[in-house]
Amino acid sequence: MQPTMPPVTGPSAERKGEHSKLVSLLALAAGAAAMPQTSQADIIFSDQGLAVSWDGNHSFVINNLPGNAQLGFQAHKAGAFSSTSTRWVTLGKQGSGYVKFKTYLVSQGFRWGDIPALVLSAAQLATAQEYRHSADDFNNLYLSFEFKDSTLVGNPIRYGWAELSLANGNLSTLNDFPKLTISSWAYDTTGAQLRTGVVPEPSSMAIIALGALTLGAAGVRSWRRNRVASGRS
């Protein structure tokens, strides 16, 4: 008698259904990943908070502007003791690129042309001595700046802003003054005068894609859990 082989059968209806469900979930996730993740591409936003002071980080440079334009913040100190020393923070262009800024700090919503102030490439922002200091504390004000994009023909002017906060006081209090925090910054790539505090918003398609990607990933995880549970039963 010849041995008989067990019948070769296709997947059961249950397995077919499980397979179809997995394919659908993977397709949902893959489709979401392939959808264009667009936003306001003309506004480049960075959020990397950092404090500049003599007793901490001595400097910080905004160096992701296109071309050779850079804007730097620097802490300085003169004198060995608090009774004779001066500490101050400056800002200005770095290297050979063109960068200038308005000397007034403003709240949200101001364009470059709205700010009636001097235009400089370097300035002293804050200073502190034993019995006096300038300027006083402020929170979340905006420095409006312009720069030239050296990557394009004609080096066109572009506009941006940096969000700043300052803690300052007399050195006799033995505190680390002045301390300048650069919270975020942004610039526009089109030549439009970007309003201070404006950040890019995700498009509706990007939001839909993110939702589909999340649902697809969650569905695959749920499918795997159910398969493990059914395999144990």
Residue matched to tokens 């063109």? 98
**202 vs 133, residue with greater confidence:** 133
At residue 187, the pLDDT reads: 98
pLDDT in tens, 13-56: 454 455 555 455 455 455 545 544 334 579 999 998 899 998 88
Is the distance from CB of 139 to CB of 119 less than 8 angstroms? no
Is the distance from CB of 60 to CB of 143 less than 8 angstroms? no
219 class by beta-carbon count within 10 Å (0-12 exposed, 13-18 middle, 19+ buried): middle
Whether residue 151 has pLDDT greater than 90: yes
Q: If residue 45 lies in a helix (H) or strand (E), which one and from where to where?
A: strand 43-46
Domain residue limits, the chain: 43-188
Rg of the Cα atoms in the chain: 29
Q: What is the mean pLDDT of residues 114-138?
A: 96
Percent of the chain with pLDDT over 70: 69
Q: If residue 43 lies in a helix (H) or strand (E), which one and from where to where?
A: strand 43-46
At residue 214, the pLDDT reads: 53
21 class by beta-carbon count within 10 Å (0-12 exposed, 13-18 middle, 19+ buried): middle
User: What rounded mean pLDDT belongs to the chain?
Assistant: 81
Is the distance from CB of 202 to CB of 19 less than 8 angstroms? no
Listed in order, strand segments (DSSP E) in 99-178 are 99-102, 119-120, 122-128, 133-134, 138-148, 157-167
pLDDT in tens, 184-211: 999 999 999 999 999 987 644 444 444 5
pTM for this structure?
0.70
**104 vs 10, residue with greater confidence:** 104
**137 vs 33, residue with greater confidence:** 137
pLDDT in tens, 49-62: 899 998 889 999 99
At residue 175, the pLDDT reads: 80
At residue 208, the pLDDT reads: 44
